[in-house]
Amino acid sequence: MKTRIVTARGIVPRADSFVGKSGRAGLVIQAGRVAGLLEGTGAIKRAEAAFGSKAEDLGDVVLLPGLVNAHAHLELSGLAGRVEPGDSFPEWVGQVLKHRFARSQDQLVEDARGGLARLSQTGTVLVGDIDSTGATIQALATLESAPAVVLYREVIDAWDPSRTAVAMDSLTEPISKKSTAVEGYSPHSPYTVSRDLLALVAEQQSRRPGPVAVHWSEMQEEIEWLESGAGPLASILGQSPGCSGLDLLFEANLVGPTTALIHGNLPARGEPERIAAAGATVVHCPGTHRYFDRGDFPLGRYMEAGVSIALGTDSLASNEDLDLLREVRLLLARHPKLAPSRVFKMASEAGARALGFEGKVGCLDVGAAARWLTVRPKPQWGSQIDQGAVFEALFTAE
């Protein structure tokens, strides 16, 4: 097997570690994966001799794992700047659907291609994409290099029993083996997916396992309708189930270590603890949060409960960019006391875990994909570098 060795000033294998305290570090790569981490020039020389491979010097840079965008809708990338927040969420959804249906499948594929290219350009190596048109799969087939994609195929029946069985049609066939995308499931949200449809998705998921992504607890209106049948959604949806969205998801057995609960802006008392106990991840999208002017995100409550938090961009119908580092900056602007290593974890390991890629992406441990970002050391660092300084340089770089 051909072995490649690269060297750099330092390597941050994950949010809480640093290799290169002596001023030099190396990465052994076999078949596109990390096969070893080398601390110092002695270890690098020994590895060169052992593998018969001359190290390639990447220069005075520090390597970090590529980023993970845990939530996007790439097929909506052509809607950038076309949709206003509107006076209500249903009004926004109406605009999104109008614009999406006005686009041909070729345009949607082109839009998804643009989205994938923007992710690559901004350091994202894995994305959790919600798909309702197949556009991302088609786009991926035309690209030579792209981020790894978990394709969550979306189902919706709006609690209308006549739509329940039909909604499952899109999930019957697995994703083509020719595609590089990994199959996931996205029952859109407890207020748009009936109890019966959740059960059907869970049944399918137990036959053909894959990660799950659900929009959950984004706004007061959905909670009102779910729990009591009241509020503005009552005129659109049928009979309310009379319980919380999280209850419905637990009842269907859809909350586990590879479940991404998207948004989670308004958790009820005790819900962060239930999510933490199930090992599920809450995905926060700072740009979309700001677009809809959602108020404070309950980050402290989730962190106290031990919930894993990942970051996403959501779509360009509710955000300005698919650049995850911009999301990091927006997050830090609202939560300036967050430790940089904590934030980096949200942008890497936490997303990878939710998407079913723990240890394979979001870190540079042995066994992980050898895909990295680089950061140039700042003059003031001197010989003392640690991961905290590296994260600060990454987050403030334009």
Q: Which residues would be at the binding site for Zn ion (CB under 5 A)?
A: 314
Taking CB atoms, the residue at the shortest distance from Zn ion is: 314
- Nearest approach, Cβ of residue 328 and Zn ion (Å): 19
- Nearest approach, Cβ of residue 65 and Zn ion (Å): 24
Q: Which is nearer to Zn ion, 222 or 314 (CB)?
A: 314
Q: Quick check: 62 and 377 in contact, CB under 8 A?
A: yes
Torsion sign across C-alpha atoms 329, 333, 334, 337: positive
- Nearest approach, Cβ of residue 129 and Zn ion (Å): 10
Q: Which is nearer to Zn ion, 244 or 288 (CB)?
A: 288
Q: Which is nearer to Zn ion, 18 or 152 (CB)?
A: 152
Strand partners, 38: 26
Q: Which is nearer to Zn ion, 131 or 314 (CB)?
A: 314
Amino acid at 115: G
- Nearest approach, Cβ of residue 170 and Zn ion (Å): 17
Long-range contacts, 154-158 (Cβ 8 Å, 24+): 154/130, 154/186, 154/187, 154/188, 155/185, 155/186, 155/187, 155/188, 155/193, 155/197, 155/201, 156/187, 156/188, 156/192, 156/193, 157/192, 157/193, 157/194, 157/197, 158/192, 158/236, 158/237, 158/238
Q: Which is nearer to Zn ion, 157 or 314 (CB)?
A: 314
- Nearest approach, Cβ of residue 148 and Zn ion (Å): 19
Residues 6+ apart with CB under 8 A from 165: 200
- Nearest approach, Cβ of residue 281 and Zn ion (Å): 15
Q: Which is nearer to Zn ion, 137 or 260 (CB)?
A: 260
Q: Quick check: 281 and 308 in contact, CB under 8 A?
A: yes
